[in-house]
Chain A
Amino acid sequence: MDEAKRSALNEFWINLKTAPGQIYRAMFRGGAPVSDRTRSSFVFGNVFLHLHSVRTHLWSLKWSTTMGLGLITTAAFLITLVTGILLMFYYKPYPDVAYQSIKDIHFIVPTGRFMRNIHRWAANVMVVAVILHMARAFYTASYRKPREFNWFIGWGLLVTTLALSFTGYLLPWDQLAYWAITIGANIAQSPREITDAMGITEYFDIGGLQREILLGSEIVGEESLIRFYLLHVMILPLILAMLMAVHFWRIRKDGGLAKPKNVDELVAADQKEHYPVFTEAPQKTYQLAAVVKGKTPAVGSGPENTVPSMPHLFYAELGVLMFTVLICFILAFVSDAPLKELANPLVPENPAKAPWYFLGLQEIVSFSAFMGGIGIPMLCWIGLGLIPFLDKETEGTGEWFGGPGGAKLVGWSALYGFATSIAVEAFAIRFGWLREWFPDIPQLVITFVNPGTVITVLYAAFSIWVLRRFNSTRAGALALFTCFLAGFIVLTVIGTHFRGPNWDFFWSPSHWPGH
């Protein structure tokens, strides 16, 4: 009796002493990640990590393969998530009060200014990175079979990212926010140009409806603020997170990153650098996966040229994460997020500018609301989404600028894209457009003939010429995508830097009158 009692107490004492080790062993069920087996179990035994394959191809680890752009986007999202939650502790989503709470965050809340700056910069990094990530996926022809659907998901992620950024723009409730959202809402209303021209706005006001759904009322008011807040902190992040989960999952299910045909030769040199590749001779090969039916790309491939994801892939991922944090911190350290005066519906900003990534659209909107707001963006969106289904060639998959024409074609396309858009814009700025020459011209004519549509048509013509010349859809796609990217850059820069009050052209914002 006494004996048993003492031993139970003894056991308890021993258990208590060994508790830390037990927790560690319970966490890493298979033991510390030191062998292939335990490294694998480290990955598949972890709810978050098991989205990764346990082994990673050397090609995926090369910096030149992806430049880490997808990871940067993800990292930026995580940063905005963390800082955004911190900001929510102090932010109050109600007109005027919202503004004061941002002032408080800026001036009084310890590290509040820094957090807000990081949030703002990470959001911008995310927008830039997601666009570059898309360009990377396009230029390496990674959208091709079996990755079409993942391109599609990415396409949704791009839209969601822009929507997240746009909804966040209103929250400070300052003049900048207020009028940017007003412009954005007016862009949503732009189908009215067509319905007005046809005289049916009274019966069928799709533009007005879109605007009202976006704002929740006729003007940007408290309804809009709550709406944008909810979208920004709840609905869109959830959508984004879900799409991201699918996006990552599909990477693995689609056989990892797209690789060129001769990938084994390309990574042969890297193979030696890596330790460990295999710490114990594989007793089973991945051939066993052949019992899985279907066309999963991993089926039938050996584990050649792969290294354990733990630690190689995770070093890379953590490295990119910290790199992104660093970039955001540096930007946040040197530049404060803007906060203008309290929103005042009676005093329009002049110029009122949308967030920068919409300024290219606003530039076309200044000629035709419909084309800038709906027509051309829709064309681009639909075109982007359809890319994997229109280009079914196989040449150059996984290679930068792969496909007929290659980098040289992309270079020429970029030159053409820049030259054309700059020339058309310069012409319109210098000589005006149809409205200046024929004041009575119907708006419908301008809707279809304006700098935006002219640039679009010139790009399309060039792309068709390239397509015929190389007799390749990929070549045509390369030309078109590059042109549009160039046009996006040119129009965005003009809208951001060269447009002043009344949307007039100025060489520099310092030349604006009255400031």
Chain B
Amino acid sequence: MKKNKYLLLFSSIGVLLLLLAAAASENFLKDWHYIQSTAKTQDGPIDVRLRQIVNNDLKRADRCVTCHVGMAPGETIISELKVAQPHKPVVHDITTMGCTTCHGGQGQATEKDDAHGNVHFWMEPMLPAKYAYAGCGTCHTPLNVPNLEILNAARRTFEKLDCYACHRLDGRGGTLRPGGDVTGMEGPDLSHVGIKGYDREWYAAHWEKNKTAPDGPWKNAFREVSDEDQKAVTTFLDTQMGAPKLVEARAQFNSVGCAGCHVVGNFGGENGPELSRSGERDPNQLNFSNVPGDRTLTNWFAQHFRSPASTVAGSLMPAQNLSDDQIDLLTMYTLSLRRRVLPDVFLPKDRVKAMRFGVREFASDPATLYSTICASCHGASGTGMRFPGLPPNPSITNPDLLALASDDFLFAAIRSGRPGRPMLPWGERTNGLKDDEIRSLVAYIRQLGGGIQPEADTKPARWVTGDVAMGGRLFASYCAGCHGPMGSGGDGPAIANKLFLQTATDTFLVETISRGRRGTVMQGFSTPSSVRPALTRVEIEAIAAYIRTLETKN
């Protein structure tokens, strides 16, 4: 039948045409063909071909330069298309580092949406331009970063002292000597001194030059700098890694106490999940059912910071009432936590310092220590925090506490923590707080509390000899309501905490019961209230004696 012949003929023609179309679209109709055909060098048009940057050590084969042809190795390409422009100058040689190392995305793809990772289910989409500095976190680790307040103050000091007049920092400032590029800048570029190191005695050296120089910038541009400002400048320089926004993001992380619960790199608490590689998380493995907007890691993080419990079911992370700017910085910081496993030659100095030598990612001044570790539970000013559904976190700047608690008591609490509570033994962990740091922290807490010093206590640590049986009855009727039966804790803190009882003196117990804590429900028991009579000294001592017995019971 003719019909069958025609069926064969037309089907075969159709198949042939489709094959041709497929071949044409695979070989000629791709965007990059057009882009490359418009680009030329001084010698004329360039070859239209697939271009790529291969780095076997980093396991990269990035074909991004097929479209972004101006960034291709060894090309000086002129094109009017924005996409084909050269990369802006950066520290790294992009022709060896590759593109996805910093920017993310799908390097092997040769079509825009696929390459940028804006396709459904690609695990590692490109970092949004706004968070581009997060890409540095693939290899680098910000070190010695103070909290945001200190960092900003330090930056202002650096600006106030007009260091930019001679020095260049992140592409800003620096005066060229007469003669331009050949003679160079007045001062060295400070953009990466946090990694590469610098003369810690810079002030003395500067001052010396100022005194000996007959004339010129040394004489005219340098002035005496106060000790405080010197310290601020040093703090600022220590953080410089060429990624100002990333440092700012880490500073934000250091301002709201995240490390109290989360490990990043070589330090942090374990109450929450480790975050060291959170920027590598696959957005497709996350629950987006309560996250409005795009299914991106960025969006998920932002929503998570806004409302942790509604984003991750069962999350105990308290909502911290963060502002949009704070959320933005924290989102960027968590995105930056990529920390690839790198071959040794690619390990940057800062990462080596953090990995092998235990250099911390936060500064060690007491204000930064406090805001990095303590602030999320005890509040930015130490007044304590209450989160729905969780036991309250005590105020540590309460005047009654600070008046009764000795420095040793506070020291021990920070050093050894409170077993069974989120308060971890911060002095007894790898990379934990050193003794002098804890001491400075104790002083800082007193400073937060208005500088209240402990009252002199001449009695020995254990002096109470009361009627334990009576104390037990009194405890059951007056204390157990909040502190739980046998002091096991309830709405009020657990008294029967081993480390607490070890370090609390009898004076501390007796005086706390009798005076109470201002601003809390713990009223002094030496004065009567509407629901109970005042307790006598004997009765209070009996309660303290009873409390002492709890120490051995646990």
Question: Is A273 within 8 A of B18, CB to CB?
Answer: no
Query: Are B1 and A273 neighbours in the complex by a CB distance under 8 Å?
Result: yes
In the bound complex, residues from chain A placing their C-beta under 8 Å from that of B288 are 514
Q: Please measure, in the bound complex, the distance between the C-alpha atom of A3 and the C-alpha atom of B120, giving whole angstroms.
A: 80
Interface size class of B (residues with CB under 8 A): 20 to 34
Contact A322 to B284, CB < 8 A, known contacts A270-B1, A312-B4, A330-B18 = no
CB contacts (< 8 Å) of B5 on chain A: these are: 315, 319
Chain A residue at minimum C-beta to C-beta distance from B115: A107
Q: Is A274's beta carbon under 8 Å from chain B?
A: yes
Interface residue B324 (Cβ < 8 Å from any Cβ of A): no
B residues 86-140 with Cβ under 8 Å of A? 106, 108-109, 114, 120-121, 123
In the complex, B531 has a CB within 8 A of chain A: no
Interface 1/0 per residue, A370-394 and B, CB below 8 Å: 0000000000000000000000000
Q: Does B390 contact A (CB under 8 A)?
A: no
> Given A322-B12, A342-B123, are A312 and B1 neighbors across the interface (CB < 8 Å)?
yes
CA distance A62 to B2 in the complex (A): 11
> Do B18 and A339 touch (CB < 8 A)?
no
**A29 sits at the interface (CB 8 A):** no
> Could you tell me if A273 and B22 are in contact, using CB atoms closer than 8 angstroms?
no
| A341→B124 CA distance, assembly (Å) | 11
Which of B11, B109, B290 meets A319, CB within 8 Å?
B11
Whether A333 sits at the interface, judged by CB under 8 Å, is: yes
**CB-based nearest A residue for B22:** A114
* Contacting residue for B121 out of A62, A339, A347, CB 8 A: A339
Enumerate A322-363 residues with CB–CB distance to B below 8 Å: 322-323, 325-326, 329-330, 333, 339-342, 344, 346-347
* Contact A344:B7 (CB < 8 A) given known A312-B1, A326-B14, A326-B15: no
Question: What is the CA–CA distance of A346 and B287 in the complex, to the nearest angstrom?
Answer: 11
A/B pair count, beta carbons within 8 Å: 84
What 1/0 flags go to B1-34 for Cβ under 8 Å of A? 1111111100110110011011000100000000
User: Taking the complex as formed, is A449 at the interface, i.e. its CB lies under 8 A from any CB of chain B?
Assistant: no
User: Separation in Å of the B285 CB from the closest CB of chain A?
Assistant: 5
In the complex formed, the residue of B with least CB distance to A108 is B108
Q: Is A486 an interface residue (CB 8 A)?
A: no
Within 8 A of B (CB), among A284-336: 312, 315-316, 318-320, 322-323, 325-326, 329-330, 333
Bound state CA distance, A146 and B22, in angstroms? 47
Is B289 an interface position by the 8 A CB rule?
Answer: yes
Neighbouring B residues of A22 by C-beta, 8 Å: none
Check B282 for interface membership: any CB of A closer than 8 A: yes
Does residue A110 face the partner (Cβ distance < 8 Å to B)?
A: yes
Residues of A within 8 A of B1 (CB): 61-62, 270, 273-274, 312, 315-316
Q: A111 contacts the other chain (Cβ, under 8 Å)?
A: yes
User: Are B123 and A325 neighbours in the complex by a CB distance under 8 Å?
Assistant: no
CA distance A322 to B14 in the complex (A): 9
CB of B366, distance to nearest CB on chain A (Å): 42
Q: Which residues of B contact A320 (CB under 8 A)?
A: 7
Partner of A325, one of B11, B121, B285: B11
In the assembled complex, which residues on chain A have CB atoms less than 8 Å from the CB atom of B108?
A: 104, 107-108
Residues of chain B within 8 A of A341, CB atoms compared? 121, 123, 282, 284-285
Do B4 and A329 have beta carbons less than 8 Å apart? no
B285 engages A347 (CB within 8 Å): yes
Interface of A with B (CB < 8 Å)? 61-63, 104, 107-108, 110-111, 114, 174-175, 270, 273-274, 312, 315-316, 318-320, 322-323, 325-326, 329-330, 333, 339-342, 344, 346-347, 513-514
A-B contacts, 19 of them at CB < 8 A, read A104-B108, A111-B26, A273-B2, A274-B1, A312-B4, A315-B4, A319-B4, A322-B12, A322-B15, A326-B14, A329-B15, A330-B18, A333-B21, A333-B22, A340-B121, A342-B123, A344-B284, A344-B285, A346-B285
The 4 closest A-B pairs by CB, nearest first: A341-B284, A319-B7, A322-B11, A319-B8
- Other 10 A-B pairs with CB < 8 A, given A274-B1, A319-B6, A333-B18: A104-B108, A107-B108, A107-B109, A114-B26, A175-B284, A318-B8, A326-B11, A340-B120, A340-B121, A342-B284
